[in-house]
Amino acid sequence: MGHEDLVEDAGPSGFTPLAREQLPWLYSLARRLLGPDRAEDAIQECLIKAYRGFDELRDPQAAPAWFRQILLNCVRDRYRRDAAPRREEPVDPLPEYSLYRKIAEEDPWPYSDSIHLDFLHSFSQDDVWNVLDRVDARYRVPLVLVHMEGHSTNQVARMFGVPQGTVLSWLHRGRKRFEQQLWEYADERRLLAVGKGGSR
Amino acid sequence: MISCQEAVRKLWEYLENDVDAAQRADLDGHLALCRRCCGEAEFTDELRQMLRSSSGPHLPPGVEGHLVAFLDSFEGEPQ
């Protein structure tokens, strides 16, 4: 059954197969933005809203973009409610951590002439998601939207109703935390020790 | 000439072309002279690529089962 048939049959029986097609990538996006524990809940909320507004979907080719926007709205609402730094909260000082310098100082592979690349290559895809999960949601959400999903800082600022400078500040803190967590994760999971003997 | 600290703080925006002309000129000038910040810029670019090229997590069968059952529960429900 094609998208056109699914949209023309706009009742519950048309919605369900169309929504099922979206589940893999909806999960992928929600999982990166919200972590494994909250992704499923956000997708359920997205599916309910999509179901209620299914009559609005005119162009079947627009279904992925339409679902995506609904999911991002759900994430935005959760972020505003639970994660966004509040005005009265003290702002962390700008962290000056440098993973580049940390790797050079610790020199985990003394015989390598490309230790920085070796470090990054020691991470599997699962490792990257695990490290992202360790970054506080208030900084992870803008980090994923800008650096993984390709949104501009202006778009994210409009999405959350904050000045662009605020998004730049969130991104800076998110990137520094991501860098710190990459090192700590590599240390805890013994990726550095494994790397000393060659590739993983 | 901007300091290394200022240069490093702006590297991501610089690599994302998210700086104005004056900031770009400052960074270009600093990177032309500072070997350590050049190395940091190359590493930051690799880190950017790692994030950008990261494919999404797969939908675990257990979660898919829950979501499909959730969708099936819409059958017969008013919109």
The pLDDT tens digits for B48-72 are 999 998 877 899 999 999 999 999 8
Q: Are A130 and A140 in contact (CB under 8 A)?
A: no
Which residues of chain A does B5 touch, with a Cβ-Cβ cutoff of 8 Å? 96
Task: Give yes or no on whether A3-83 and A99-196 have one common fold.
Answer: no
CA distance linking residue B48 with residue B74, whole number of Å: 41
The full set of domain ranges for chain A reads 3-83, 99-196
DSSP A96: -
Does the beta-carbon distance from A54 to B40 stay under 8 Å? no
Q: What are the CA-CA distances from residue A103 to residues A62, A180, B43 (Å)?
A: 45, 11, 11
Give the predicted TM-score (pTM) of the model: 0.84
In this complex, the residue of A16, A99, A143 whose CB is nearest that of residue B74 is A16
Q: How many domains does the structure of chain B reveal? A: 1
Using the predicted structure, report yes or no on whether residue A106 has a pLDDT greater than 70: yes
Is the distance from CB of A39 to CB of A27 less than 8 angstroms?
Answer: yes
Residue B78 counted as domain residue: no
How close A87 comes to chain B (CA, Å)?
A: 23
Q: List pLDDT tens digits, range B27-56.
A: 999 999 999 899 999 999 999 999 998 877
Q: Which top CATH class is A3-83?
A: mainly alpha
- Position A190 scores a pLDDT of 85
Residue B77 within a domain: no
What does B39-69 look like in DSSP terms, one character per residue?
HHHHHHHHHHHHHHTPPPPP--HHHHHHHHH
Give the pLDDT band of residue A91 (cuts 50, 70, 90): low
Q: Which residues contact A83 (CB under 8 A, 6 or more apart)?
A: A136, A137, A138, A141
Answer whether residue A93 shows pLDDT above 80.
Answer: no
> Do residue B71 and residue A47 have CB atoms under 8 angstroms apart?
yes
What's the pLDDT score for residue B67?
95
- The residue among A21, A48, A98 with the most chain B CBs within 10 A of its CB, best to mutate, is A98
Tokens of B20: 């104005």
Structural domain boundaries enclosing B58: 4-72
**What would the mean pLDDT of A98-107 be, rounded to a whole number?**
91
CA separation, residue A73 to residues A33, A46, A58, A167, B3 (Å): 12, 8, 20, 17, 40
ipTM of the complex: 0.85
Contact yes or no for B40 and A100 at CB 8 A: yes
In a domain, B34, yes or no: yes
Residues 17-36 of B with CB under 8 A from A: 18
Residue B79 belongs to a domain? no
Does position A10 have pLDDT exceeding 50, yes or no?
no
The 8-class DSSP code of residue A144 comes to I
For residue A50, what pLDDT is reported? 94
The pLDDT value recorded for residue A158 is 92
In a domain, B50, yes or no: yes
Euclidean distance between CA atoms A142 and A156, whole angstroms: 7
> Nearest Cα to A132, choosing from A99, A179, A166, A100?
A179
DSSP state for residue A113 in the 8-state scheme? S
What's the pLDDT score for residue A142?
93
Q: What is the pLDDT of residue A99?
A: 93
Is residue B16 assigned to a domain?
A: yes
Distances (CA, A) of A176 to A93, A97, A190, B42: 12, 6, 21, 16
Is residue B51 included in any domain, yes or no? yes
* A146 has a pLDDT exceeding 80: yes
Domain A99-196: assigned CATH number: 1.10.10.10
Can you tell me the mean pLDDT for A100-108?
90
A to B CB pairs, distance under 8 Å: 103
Sequence letter at residue B36: R
Residues B74, A168: C-beta atoms closer than 8 Å: no
